[in-house]
Amino acid sequence: MTASALVGAAASGTCALTDTVIASGDACADARMREIFAALVRHLHGFVVDVGLTHEEWLAAIRFLTATGQACDDVRQEFILLSDTLGVTAMVDELAARRASAPGVTESSLLGPFYADEAPEIALGGNLSVRDGGVPLLVHGVVRDAATHAAVPNVLVDVWGTDGAGSYDSQYGDRRTDCRGRVRTGGDGAFAFRTVVPQSYPVPTDGPVGVLLNALGRKPFRPAHLHFRMTADGYRPLTTAIYAHGDPYIASDAVFGVRDSLIEEFRAGTDAAGAPQATLERDFALVRA
């Protein structure tokens, strides 16, 4: 069989070796697992043939994956970072969004590695920021039903973002909660809270993924953004983020999470005393479960 014929055969799953490996999973009782396994083998074999992978290159790949696993611990998940920087996480998120798509619903974005369960709930208009530093940010908006445009009351709005130095609270290691919390919409669907203007920041580059990004000549930065996760009875949960208009890394997000519809201006201004203060106005639309 010629090289070109082998490429086509492997890609289509007709190569004898590929067929044999796929058949090894025939005894699996889980039909979905059999489907995923077969597709994985077809694509992997097709890739190996397509690029003419050598023994040395495959060994280098195994060493890279081994180092990626060794970089993981209870706090850090290097494999999630790898998934993010390869766009796999964004693709899974996009497929999920397509399945749950409905006219007018707010687009989703990545959950990211810094989400934390049981963030403290504060009163409407309260302040999520407890550390000094950063430009104060006032955030407000309304959560509506995507189909009827009616206000949705009692939505739990979970918010988290970086501080003024571009770090999340969990990165400090002192267990203090900062720039993170939950508010509930009122009867009119409105929410409001205070925090600080989030900053762009680099994903961790001191591990194998950083080596890969550097080898590819890629920037490790994420644009400034504020995460939102919204849940309400009778509605599908929404996980999304709002990205700062004009951020220099909007077009080169290291994890491919930016959506055009999620870019907003964090409007600069001043408070009553003339000190710097910014405002973000953003409404959201949920779809019924």
Task: Domain ranges for the chain, please list them.
Answer: 3-53, 83-286
Alpha helices in 52-179 (DSSP H): 55-70, 78-85, 88-99
Q: How far from the centroid of its chain's Cα atoms is residue 261's Cα? A: 15
pTM of the full structure: 0.87
pLDDT tens track for 179-227: 999 999 999 999 999 999 999 999 999 999 999 999 999 999 999 999 9
User: Considering only 1-15, 103-117, 138-152, 164-178, which range has the smallest mean pLDDT?
Assistant: 1-15
Query: Which of the four pLDDT bands, split at 50, 70 and 90, describes residue 15?
Result: confident
Residue 3 has pLDDT above 90, yes or no: no
pLDDT tens track for 47-94: 999 999 999 999 999 999 999 999 998 878 999 999 999 999 999 988
Burial string for 236-271 (b: 16+ CB within 10 Å, else e) reads bebbbbbbbeebebbeebbbbbbbeebbbebeeeee
Query: Which of the four pLDDT bands, split at 50, 70 and 90, describes residue 170?
Result: confident
User: Considering only 90-99, 155-164, 190-199, 266-275, which range has the smallest mean pLDDT?
Assistant: 90-99
Rounded Cα gap, residues 157 and 186, in angstroms: 11
pLDDT (0 to 100) of residue 133: 87
The pair of structure tokens assigned to 169 is 């609270």
Average pLDDT value for the chain: 93
Query: Which of the four pLDDT bands, split at 50, 70 and 90, describes residue 13?
Result: very low
Average pLDDT over residues 114-136: 92
- Domain 83-286 maps to which CATH number in 2.60.40.10, 2.60.130.10, 2.30.180.10, 3.40.50.1370? 2.60.130.10
DSSP letter for each residue of the chain: --HHHHHHHHHHT-SHHHHHHHHTTTT-S-HHHHHHHHHHHHHHHHHHHHHT--HHHHHHHHHHHHHHHHT--SS--HHHHHHHHTTHHHHHHHHHHHHT--TTPPPP----TT--TTPPB--TT-B---SS-S-EEEEEEEEEETTT--B--S-EEEEEE--TTS--GGGSSS----SEEEEE--TTSEEEEEEE----EEPP-SSHHHHHHHHHT---EE--EEEEEEE-TTB--EEEEEEETT-TTGGG-TT----GGGEE--EEEE-TTS-EEEEEE--EEE-B-
pLDDT (0 to 100) of residue 2: 55
Average pLDDT over residues 104-126: 92
Asked if residues 185 and 154 have their Cβ atoms less than 8 Å apart, the reply is yes
Query: Which of the four pLDDT bands, split at 50, 70 and 90, describes residue 268?
Result: very high
pLDDT (0 to 100) of residue 84: 95
Rounded Cα gap, residues 261 and 22, in angstroms: 41
